[in-house]
Chains A and B, each alone.
Chain A
Amino acid sequence: MEALFSRLSNDFVLICVYLVLALSLNLINGYAGLFSLGHAGFWAVGAYCGSAFIIYSHQAGPGIPGALLFCGGITAAMGGAALVGLIVGLPSLRLQGDYLAIASLGFSLIVVNILNNLAVVGGASSFPFGGLVWPDGALYDLKARVAHNLTHIVLGVLAVGTCTLVIRNIRHSSHGRAILSLREDEVASAMCGVNVVKYKLLVFVLGAAFAGLAGVLYATYTTRIAPEAFNFMESVKILLMVVLGGLGSLSGTFIAVIVLYEVPELLRMSHVTIAGSPVADWWVMLYALVLVMLMILRPQGLLGSKELFECAGIRRLFGMAGRGGREA
């Protein structure tokens, strides 16, 4: 029972983390059409800023309550990541398409390289919270573990909810229409009076801040972060989640994140072997194949830029009236 709970809550929290990451990447990539390959970089910055704030302020004043520390950590993580997002956003003003992708990829590699050599945050080895989260053998205390998991489930739901709401509301505001117009045609939207500089930076800052939020959530949940966890592969994974769900579709992102997270987990549990090695070992190859096939067969992703309830088939299934399709 305890094992089942810990497995389910683990999956739930990590899915929440990936959801926040994928939703924020969808804002950058799907809505604004800015092709970023370095989302794990923002994630790493958030995780490390948040952890550093929490650990060092705990050292400075051991009496500060945990909730306050965590709020401070969130602020530090989102602030730090947003600042970095602003810096990365600046090249995006001059770069387009695949050039921007390469620049952002370079950025995430720089982040990992620097973190690997930064002694204040533990360098290449992990940066643990240690006694802060698990004081005096609390790691083996069932109640403390359950409380830890439950807290993070609530925090995860809150984070995903906030992220979805903010992005959805932006999408349906005049700002959102401006951002969408950037994706369609930058020059034309500039001619129509859209402030291209402002919106590109806004999208990067906001996306990075949410990635930072995911970072701090991930850090306090796992209580141990290492630069290895934020490598290039993670950026690709997040991107695949967004692309599979459909660039510009929030509900598609939800489906894709859950599928792409749960399938390898279930495969790992299944103990099936192919050609002598566990099936989970083949997953990354399958992953890559899915990406290639998807690009060839359905480059717009499962849902395209529609939301789930805008698809005609789904509407019919639930007996809703009217035609599917996005509003003007």
Chain B
Amino acid sequence: MTLLSLLLDGLALGCIYALIALGYTMVYGIIKLINFAHGEFYMIGAYAAFIFLAVVRTTGLAEPYDTAMLLLCAMLVAGAAAGVLAVIVERLAYRPLRRASRIAALLTALGVSLFLQNAALKVFSQNTEAFRKPPLVVDRRYPTFEINATDVRPGAVFDTEVFWRDDVGSEQFLSPAGFAISEEEFRWAAEHGARRFYRYPRVTVRRKQIIIWTSVALIAVGLHFLVRHTRIGKAMRAVSYDFETAGLMGINVDRVISFTFFIGALLAGAGAALVGMYYGTIKPTMGIMPGLKAFVAAVIGGIGSIPGALLGGLALGTAESLVQLSPITAPYQDAFAFAILIVILVFLPNGFFGRHEREKV
């Protein structure tokens, strides 16, 4: 894949990391807990969206609606499901540990994460679910923007999704993100959406990517408004500044913490719906890696800082896509991300935007 298409892909991935990282950073900012279960909230969100879309499709409710509207609804459903789960988990598992050591809280988060993951493995099948089958992305009314028509690679392109044959000539099909897809999936897409075939595919800014960028930008603006210009936002800032004093000033600390968990998980759930749309598949273990990567993103930006989480996510997504540029470095994408984590932790523990806290003896 070329540099440009990798960058576009990385930017979209980075937006997702940023959404998940926001939840990490908000929760950490308030109760100093690394919420390992955050990746699982994200996974549950993806399943909620999947179930919602499947129900809408089988009942035929989808017919009169616009795809964009449907996606928005899926994001809301996913966010609400993840948020409610987060509030329940906070109430049952984290609240009893509010005064315990941070290590105990971290281990609890780890336990919750394992529990949710395995519960999902039990409830849903271990298989990946094809997110593409619900009528989400087969909408051809909006054109995609083609940037570069000289990116030479044999295969086929059509305007809502790009597939191409592996250029070694094997019968492997790759989705735009570089994931292998089966020939049946390729055929299915060709039957349902393929309108035009090109001899040479080109770098396209895909509609999905635009959807991700705009939704994340809107969410970021909304979050900024929430934190800076509302009563509850002010309460959140007060609690993160000083837990005890905020309580003395008449702020209901427990409610603020619950609300923070809800908002954080809501963002992760919305991100999960976007990811389902973008990559087309979901599975019970999908939360682990994005969860950890989003944590890396939050650390890069300075954990506890909201703009830091956004920029950290974008930076990590882009950096990871650049690693894929060479076939030699491509398999080490994960190692690269965690090496960044360790380097940042050691040399810049407050990240790029974090508050510097002086340790008192």
Q: Which residues of A contact B (CB under 8 A)?
A: 35, 90-91, 94-95, 97-99, 101-103, 105-107, 109-110, 113-114, 116-117, 187, 232-233, 236, 239, 243, 277, 281-282, 284-285, 287-292, 295-296, 299
Contact = CB atoms under 8 A, between A and B. Distances in A.
A289 B106 contact: no
16 contacts: A91-B345, A94-B349, A97-B102, A98-B102, A102-B295, A103-B345, A106-B338, A107-B342, A116-B331, A117-B332, A290-B111, A291-B108, A292-B93, A292-B111, A295-B97, A299-B100
A113 B103 contact: no
A295 B107 contact: yes
Contacts of A281: 122
Given A35-B103, A98-B34, A292-B111, A284 B349 contact: no
A288 B122 contact: no
Contacts of A102: 34, 295, 299, 341, 345
Mostly, the A contact residues are: helix
Given A95-B346, A102-B295, A109-B335, A289 B111 contact: yes
A284 B338 contact: no
A95 B349 CA distance: 8
Nearest to A111: B335
Nearest to A116: B331
A113 B342 contact: no
Given A103-B341, A291-B114, A292-B93, 11 more contacts: A102-B295, A102-B299, A103-B345, A110-B338, A114-B332, A114-B335, A281-B122, A284-B118, A285-B122, A289-B115, A290-B111
Nearest to A106: B338
A247 to B, nearest CB: 9
Contacts of B93: 292, 296
Interface in B270-317: 288, 292, 295-296, 299
Contacts, number: 111
A101 B106 contact: yes
Interface string B62-99: 00000000000000000000000000000001001100
Contacts of B122: 277, 281-282, 285
Contacts of B292: 105-106, 109
A3 B170 CA distance: 47
Which 7 residue pairs are nearest across A and B when measured between Cβ atoms?
A291-B111, A106-B338, A288-B115, A288-B114, A292-B111, A113-B335, A299-B104
Given A99-B349, A114-B335, A295 B115 contact: no
Interface residues on B, range: 35 or more
Contact of A288 (B96, B105, B111, B331): B111
B330 to A, nearest CB: 9
A282 to B, nearest CB: 8
Contacts of B103: 35, 97-98, 101
B126 to A, nearest CB: 11
B55 interface: no
Interface of B: 34, 93, 96-97, 100-108, 110-115, 118-119, 122, 288, 292, 295-296, 299, 331-332, 334-335, 338-339, 341-342, 345-346, 349, 361
A233 B334 CA distance: 17
A194 B104 CA distance: 27
Nearest to A233: B114
A231 to B, nearest CB: 10
A277 B104 CA distance: 32
B101 A113 contact: no
A292 to B, nearest CB: 4
B346 A94 contact: yes
A288 B118 contact: yes
A291 B335 contact: no
Contacts of A295: 97, 100, 104-105, 107-108, 111
A296 B96 CA distance: 6
A104 to B, nearest CB: 9
A113 B93 CA distance: 32
A91 B346 contact: yes
A92 to B, nearest CB: 10
B332 A113 contact: yes
A39 to B, nearest CB: 14
Nearest to A239: B107
Nearest to A285: B118
A117 B106 contact: no
Nearest to B331: A117
B276 to A, nearest CB: 24
A95 B104 CA distance: 18
Given A99-B349, A187-B361, A295-B108, A109 B115 contact: no
Given A296-B96, A296-B97, A98 B346 contact: no
B114 A284 contact: yes
Contacts of B119: 285
Nearest to B113: A288
A163 B33 CA distance: 34
A117 B335 CA distance: 11
A107 to B, nearest CB: 7
Nearest to B33: A98
A113 B111 CA distance: 24
Contact of B345 (A99, A116, A117, A243): A99
B108 A106 contact: no
Contacts of B335: 109-110, 113-114
Contacts of B342: 91, 103, 106-107
B50 to A, nearest CB: 22
A121 B107 CA distance: 33
B287 to A, nearest CB: 13
